[in-house]
Amino acid sequence: MTVETLDPQTKTDVLAALFAGTFPGEFWDCQDDKCDCTYQRIGMWTNPYIAETLEVRMCCIWAELYKQFPEFVRVTPAYIDGNKKEWVTEPMPWNGEDEMPKAIWYRQLAREQGRSVDDIRVEYANRDELRPKGKPNGEPLPLFIRFDGDWVAIDLRR
């Protein structure tokens, strides 16, 4: 095994960053509920050749831009049903395979109850049992591998 060593300046920079707390303890996620934006969007670009990563809460930046240019922003209190090509004003019940992410759940409750996301977040923070559960769709798709010349289906869920 080969162990690469860093040059002294790089070691110093890394240690300084660690002690200064400049390395994030966690990664941002578009459903982490760390901002109040309706549509949480995170941009992340990383470059191993310069040893640098850029993370951007695009949703928060966009929100600030929207304030500067309101004439170019339109929010419609409905969604377009892609099948029927018509507007629907009621939030759709959760039909995902996994449990509904808290960030989406809080925003759905806020819309349904006509309240702020902050109020909902406080009230429902410890009521996770009410969060919509997932509904697995149909049979799981098997993974096919070639074993001794034959194709074998493997179900990874069982």
46 touches 52 (CB < 8 A): yes
Local structure of 42: helix, strand or coil: strand
Supply φ then ψ for residue 138, to 5 degrees: 60, -160
Over its length of 158 residues, how does the chain's per-residue pLDDT go in tens digits? 555 666 777 777 766 666 666 677 788 888 888 887 888 888 989 888 888 888 899 999 999 999 999 999 998 889 998 888 899 999 999 988 889 999 999 999 999 999 999 999 999 999 999 999 988 776 666 677 777 778 877 766 65
Compute the Cα dihedral for 29, 33, 34, 39 and give only its sign. positive
- Return the CA Rg of the chain: 23
